[in-house]
Amino acid sequence: MPSHFLYMTLYALLVSVFFAVLWRRDRREQLRLFLQIFLGMVGGGLLVAWLMYPFPFGPPAPLL
């Protein structure tokens, strides 16, 4: 069963590990950057999803 949240989290995990290793050399700094990017991506994604919730894709619902 495909899960949008799972895909998003997996993507955030790969990207955040990548940038932490690429941009930082010290282990503590790597962990810190990893958490910043990972939580920023997942949290930002959830925030944007929540903001878009009142605006569903598709034609407007018919007026009653």
Partner 1 sequence: MKTQAEPQSPSPTVSAKTVAACVAAWLVPGSGHLILGRVPRAAIFFVLILLCAFVGVQLEGKLFVPQENAPLSRLGTLGSMGMGVPYFVLRYAIEYEGNLKSASYEYGSAFLLTAGLMNLMVILDVWDIGRGTKD
Q: How far is the CB of 4 from partner 1 (least distance, A)?
A: 8
Residues 1-40, mask of contacts with partner 1 (x by CB under 8 A): -x-x--x--xx--xx-xx--xx--x---------------
**Which two tokens mark 11?**
């993507």
DSSP 12-58: HHHHHHHHHHHH--SHHHHHHHHHHHHHHHHHHHHHHHHHHTTS-SS
Could you list the residues that contact partner 1 (CB under 8 A)?
2, 4, 7, 10-11, 14-15, 17-18, 21-22, 25
